[in-house]
Each structure stands twice: as structure tokens, then as C-alpha cells.
Amino acid sequence: MNVYDSARMADILSPLGYSMTAEPEGADMAILNTCHIREKASEKTFSELGRLRNMRKSKQASDEGDMIIAVAGCVAQAEGKEIMKRAPYVDMVFGPQSYHKLPEMLAEATRGAGQILDTDFPVEPKFDSLPDEAIDTNLSAFLTVQEGCDKFCAFCVVPYTRGAEFSRSVDSILSEAKRMIAGGTREITLLGQNVNAYHGEGPDGRTYSLAELIQELAALDGLWRLRYTTSHPLEMTEDLCRVHRDVDILMPYLHLPVQAGSDRILEAMNRRHTADEYRRIIDKLRGYRPDLALSGDFIVGFPGETDAEFEDTMQLVRDVSYAQAYSFKYSPRPGTPAAALEGQMIEEKIKSERLAALQALLNEQQLAFNKSFEGREVPVLLEREGKREGQLIGRSPYMQSVFVQSPTHRIGRTATVIVEEGNANSLRGKLKPGDIASAA
Ligand code: SAH
Ligand code: SF4
């Protein structure tokens, strides 16, 4: 979502004469778009700010003008005042719900109004104020449909930094999608912190579910692939499970985080479902879409987690078998209920051991998943050139990166690739001969 937000900020600034640079050195403005989800991500803010400050100094010293420094995103939201105090050279600090006001903030900052702080959750949602040009038209692009979260998992800062759940209207999403498609987008990933909690106003005034929104989008001409992320198990409703069977452009890949495999830990995390309920959701989804590949998020070392409870997570992973996954050591976040469980914090060494064991299992599953494609034909949306001469990189329906030798003019098309090699993080294959002829 930060990638999506950064692109929107660039679009908002373009009428003011700004365009993206490849490197921050020498830039007229630097916006650090930050993440607060874990301590490590959040700590980076201050070290990166130090680097930007040095760049600004050398720009000033060489008489090439000034550099405006801004901090955006969730660290700005959560620690705005602290940033302004610790880094008084920062010109603007604004949260994820107020970047549509960038032109006004910029005008104020350049007028010498001092440091600008905007971390309000505005009544007027930012999506209504984004300019029409502010859209992503990459071949494969993101579209935010839902933001914020009301779930309050005990470890998580999102409900505090991104704010309450909000769904955009079906009309505004459809018109953004149409503009994306007209600009060349063929694959759209619907984004939301809790995307399947989507409940937006439909054209008829009724509230639409994510399943209904997906059906509306699937009817648009020129769109080849749809995905959505990130979902919560509680909202994997029957109609949403069923669109995995009924909507052919919905890709057979789902990121469905579970966090842990122990019911006691799930309860302490306030996830509001058991491990078996999660297993049953997966069974149901696979019933509708047998080739569905799964991805997940896991936290090891949540306060009080015992060896046996960690083993429950390992067992759940064995039962589900993931094509891909993200796993993290629990990181106490200020203001969250879990961070107050002081007496129960797990030692760093144990967290590291558990993470290593979990990641070894997940890597094994990912490699086995990729290897299972050897000899098979997969439709690959060719996205860009690779590093090697004549090589293109694309994606399979299951989110695997696929490397293939192909003429560049095929970028933007879907090719049938015969997979020759399944590796840890990618597939390698060759274009199917008949497929080349038909495209030529
Ligand atoms: N809305 C999604 C997740 C958003 S945060 C969901 O409910 O699943 C992305 C991931 O970061 C989470 O799934 C979780 O695995 C991880 N995460 C969040 N807070 C964390 C914390 N305090 N420590 C470690 N990992 C965390
Ligand atoms: Fe955080 Fe996801 Fe839980 Fe919301 S549902 S609190 S975003 S982990």
C-alpha cells in the first residue's frame, strides 16, 4: 500500500512541476514514506532522515538550491511530534490519510511557515480529492479499494496508524479501473489492509461485498487478471470463496495470513478464529478452486508462546502447505495491548530459533511448489526485460516470477511458457513453439 500511496503522491505533485528521480541526491524534494508495522522498519526512519539531511547540506553547499524533506506514512502518523523534535530540519510530516493535501502543505512550507504537521484523519476521505490523473497504469498495477482496520489484533499498529475501516464506492473504483485499463493495465491487485472486509456503496445505493466488486471488475473489457490482498480469515465469506470458482480472471493465488497455529495464542492475539476454522476455510476454497496456491503471514514468539504452541504453528504449515509466505519475529509496538504483556516476552534467541525453523519449512514448501511446475505449461504475463540478453520476466497466475527467452515486443502479452526449472524464488522456461507463431 505504501507503493500505491507513493505513486499517488508523485501524481499529485506532477502538476506542480515535480517528477520522480531515480536517486534522492540533488532532488528538490524528498518524501520518506515510512512503515511502522515492526520496530525494524520504524527505526529506519531516523537513519534515513540523517542521510537525507546530509544530501540536503551538500546540495546547499554546492549552491544548487534547497531540498524539501518530508516524512509520510505510518511512522509519521504515530510519531509525528517526535520526528519534528528529533529532526527539526524536516519540513513536513503527514500521515497516510492526509497526503492529498500535499500541494497546500508544500505551499505553506515554501512560504516559510515552519514545520508542517498533518496527522488528522479527515472527515473528507482522501480518495475524493485525488486528481483523476493520479492513477497507476503499469501493466500490473495496484488499486486501493479499502483502507484501515477495525480488527485490533493485539500485536498490530495498523488500526491506530491507518485508522478505521473505510471502503471506497464501487463507482469510484470502477472508474479508476477503467482509466487504468485505458492506460495499458492488464492486471489489477485490489488493495486493503483488510480487503475482504470491503463494504462499499454500490451504484444502486446498496452495500457491495468484495465478491460483488470482483464480479463488477471482471466484466470490464481489457482486464485479464485480478487479485486482492490482504485478507482476514474471518471475512472469507461463502460468496467470496465462490468467486474463486466463478470468476475466471481472478487468479488462483490467495494471501491469507493466519499468524499462529495455537488456539490459545490466536485468542491472545485477538484473531477471533481457531486454527481448525482456518483449516476449514482453506478446504472450502480448495473445493471451489483446486489449484489455489496459498500464501500467509506468521508471527513467532508472541508473548507467552511455548515450544508446544510454536509446534502448533509448524503443524498448521505442514497441513496447509504454502506456495509462499512471510514470517516475522514478534515485535512489541508502542500502544498495542500485546506490548503491555511485559512479563511474558520471549527471549530474542528463542524467537530467532523458531523463525529459522519456520522459514526452513516454508522455504522447503516453496521450492517443492515451484518444482511441481517442471514440465508444465503456464500462462505468463510478460512484464519487463530481465538482466540477461533476450530475457523477459513475467508472472504466472500463482505469483511466481518466470524467466524466459523472448523477443521484447512480447512485453504486455500473455505467453504460454513450458517450465524447465523450478527454483527457490522463480521459474525458468521456454516459450511454447506454437504460441510464438500465433503471436508473430
Ligand atoms: N491485515 C493483515 C496484515 C497486515 S500487517 C492481516 O490481518 O493479516 C502485515 C503482517 O505483519 C501481519 O500479517 C503480521 O504477520 C505482521 N505483523 C504485524 N504486526 C506485527 C508485530 N507487532 N510483530 C511482528 N509482526 C507483525
Ligand atoms: Fe493488523 Fe491485520 Fe489485525 Fe488489522 S487484521 S489489526 S491490519 S493484523
Choose the final residue of a domain: 228, 251, 274.
251
What is the chain's pLDDT, residue by residue, as a tens digit (440 residues)? Answer: 899 899 999 989 999 999 999 899 999 999 999 999 998 887 889 999 999 999 999 999 998 899 999 999 999 999 999 999 999 999 999 999 889 899 999 998 888 778 888 888 775 667 776 766 556 778 999 999 999 999 999 999 999 998 999 999 999 999 999 999 999 999 999 999 999 999 999 999 999 999 999 999 999 999 999 999 999 999 999 999 999 999 999 999 999 999 999 999 999 999 999 999 999 999 999 999 999 999 999 999 999 999 999 999 999 999 999 999 999 999 999 999 999 998 899 999 999 999 999 999 999 999 999 999 999 999 999 999 999 999 999 999 999 999 999 999 999 999 999 999 999 999 999 999 877 655 44
- Name the one residue in this structure whose C-alpha cell is 512484464: 383
Choose the final residue of a domain: 312, 339, 370.
370
- Centre of ligand 1 to C-alpha 153, Å, is 9
User: Residue 399 — φ and ψ, nearest 5°?
Assistant: 70, 10
Inside any domain, residue 276 = no
Coil, strand or helix: which one is 131?
coil
Predicted structure pTM score:
0.92
Inside any domain, residue 227 = yes
Closest residue by Cα to atom 11, ligand 1, is: 37
Inside any domain, residue 274 = no
The per-residue b/e assignment along 241-262, b for 16 or more CB within 10 angstroms, e otherwise, is bebbeebebbbbbbbbbbbbbb
Radius of gyration for the alpha carbons in the chain, expressed in angstroms and rounded = 23
**What's the grid cell of residue 192?**
486493503
Give the ligand at the shortest distance from the Cα of 297: 1
Give residue 172's identity as a one-letter amino acid code. S
Same domain, 394 and 363: no
Per-residue DSSP letter, 399: S
Choose the final residue of a domain: 329, 348, 370.
370
Domain around 399: 377-437
Same domain, 346 and 388: no
> Residue 238: exposed, middle, or buried by beta-carbon count in 10 A (0-12, 13-18, 19+)?
exposed
The secondary element (H helix, E strand) that includes residue 49 is helix 39-61
CATH of the domain at 173: 3.30.750.210
Same domain, 211 and 189: yes
> Residue 270: exposed, middle, or buried by beta-carbon count in 10 A (0-12, 13-18, 19+)?
middle
What pLDDT is stored for residue 137 in this prediction?
A: 76
Inside any domain, residue 279 = no
Inside any domain, residue 277 = no
Same domain, 309 and 229: no
Inside any domain, residue 28 = yes
Best mutation site among 235, 299, 302 for ligand 1 pocket (most ligand atoms within 8 Å of CB): 299
User: Does residue 193 line the site of ligand 1, with CB under 6 A?
Assistant: yes
Please answer whether residues 401 and 428 qualify as being in contact, where contact means their C-beta atoms are separated by less than 8 angstroms.
no
CATH of the domain at 356: 3.30.750.200
Please answer whether residues 209 and 198 qualify as being in contact, where contact means their C-beta atoms are separated by less than 8 angstroms.
yes
Please answer whether residues 419 and 429 qualify as being in contact, where contact means their C-beta atoms are separated by less than 8 angstroms.
yes
Q: How many domains does the chain contain in total?
A: 4
Inside any domain, residue 261 = no
Same domain, 297 and 246: no
Taking phi first (over 0 means left), then psi (-120 to 50 degrees means alpha), and beta for anything else, what does residue 245 get?
A: alpha
Inside any domain, residue 48 = yes
What pLDDT is stored for residue 119 in this prediction?
A: 84
